[in-house]
């Protein structure tokens, strides 16, 4: 018949999945290519990944670049010191107005030469004494032959009332070199007499050294005042503005007359008790 040669089409039989071995072969081939020194594929990560690290030197051995930087670039302390030296003296003095303690001011003087020159006068302007030993050391510095600074000219105010039991005529005579002294407080210094006060105001020649009380200084320390014998002390009467001589029972009219003659700028005088 005409339709005898026609065959009904049937769906192909399901073939077994033979692609799995091929996939394994492809993966094995990719792994082999990836492990080869020349990659067959270019990935974006190759452009952004960091390069393999070079051999690094031990931490304790500086490299050549670090040595060159350390020898050429200044240290931070050197930079700060250079900046501190370039500040104008007016600004340095303005900064010192906010330094309220003696310890901080002393540290400022050690910063650099410019700060020392601006602050040394402030450091000596009004010395404070709570025991005799600092006073003896100050007098030793005032007696130096070639001091670094004219320390005696920096002293403007002296308050020795805390050392009333230790201040004597010989010690007071050594303060006559403070030619710019403006105010002095000697309240309660009962050992003072006319002789010591007149030498303070008039000056004169030092004929003897002074040895302080051994009990007033630390042990094994000398208290000899280092002013050469025969040194001329100018006196500070011409610059005094105020004096507190209360409770000085040994003063007589001789001291009062010396004050009237030697202190033309005197504005305040306390002679109570």
How far is the CA of 139 from the CAs of 1, 48, 164, 172, in angstroms?
149, 75, 17, 10
Within a domain: 224: yes
Task: Average the pLDDT over 74-84 and give the result.
Answer: 62
Residue 114: which pLDDT band, with cuts at 50, 70 and 90? confident
| Minimum mean pLDDT range among 21-25, 180-184, 244-248, 252-256 | 21-25
**pLDDT for the residue numbered 26:** 55
Domain that holds residue 91: 77-123
151-163 pLDDT, tens per residue? Answer: 988 999 999 999 9
Within a domain: 173: yes
Tally the domains of the chain: 2
Task: Average the pLDDT over 232-236 and give the result.
Answer: 64
7-55 pLDDT, tens per residue? Answer: 554 555 555 555 555 556 555 555 555 554 444 444 444 433 444 444 4
CATH code for the domain in which residue 186 is found: 3.80.10
Residue 244 has pLDDT above 90, yes or no: yes
Q: Which two tokens stand for residue 226?
A: 């280092």
Within a domain: 221: yes
Within a domain: 150: yes
**pLDDT for the residue numbered 186:** 92
Q: Which comes out higher in pLDDT, residue 60 or 169?
A: 169
Q: Which two tokens stand for residue 128?
A: 């404070």
How far is the CA of 163 from the CAs of 83, 137, 247, 267, in angstroms?
43, 14, 14, 25
Within a domain: 109: yes
Instruction: Name the burial class of residue 225, with classes exposed (0-12), middle (13-18) and buried (19+) by CB atoms within 10 angstroms of its CB.
Output: buried
Q: Which of 79, 152, 89, 148 has its CA nearest to residue 115?
A: 89
Residue 93: which pLDDT band, with cuts at 50, 70 and 90? confident
195-218 pLDDT, tens per residue? Answer: 999 988 887 544 333 333 334 333
């Amino acid at each position: 018949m005409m339709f005898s040669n026609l065959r009904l089409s049937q769906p192909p039989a399901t073939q077994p999945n033979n692609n799995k071995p091929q996939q394994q072969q492809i993966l094995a081939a990719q792994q082999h290519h990836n492990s080869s020194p020349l990659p067959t594929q270019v990935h974006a990560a190759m452009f952004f990944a960091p390069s393999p690290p070079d051999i690094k030197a031990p931490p304790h051995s500086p490299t050549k670049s670090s040595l060159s930087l350390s020898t050429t670039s200044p240290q931070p302390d050197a930079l700060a010191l250079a900046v501190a030296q370039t500040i104008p003296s007016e600004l340095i003095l303005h900064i010192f107005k906010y330094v309220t303690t003696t310890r901080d001011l002393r540290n400022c003087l050690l910063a650099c030469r410019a700060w020392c020159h601006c602050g040394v006068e402030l450091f000596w302007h009004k010395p404070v004494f709570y025991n005799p030993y600092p006073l003896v050391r100050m007098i030793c510095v005032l007696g130096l032959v070639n001091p670094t600074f004219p320390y005696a000219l920096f002293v403007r105010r002296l308050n020795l009332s805390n050392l009333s039991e230790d201040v004597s005529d010989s010690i007071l005579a050594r303060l006559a070199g403070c030619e710019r002294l403006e105010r002095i407080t000697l309240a309660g210094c009962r050992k003072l007499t006319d002789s010591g006060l007149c030498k303070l105001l008039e000056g004169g020649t030092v004929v003897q050294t002074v040895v302080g009380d051994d009990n007033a200084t630390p042990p094994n320390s000398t208290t000899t005042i280092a002013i050469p014998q025969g040194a001329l002390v100018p006196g500070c009467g011409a610059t005094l503005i105020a004096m507190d001589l209360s409770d000085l029972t040994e003063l007589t009219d001789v001291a009062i007359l010396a004050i009237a003659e030697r202190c033309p700028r005197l504005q305040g005088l306390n002679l109570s008790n």
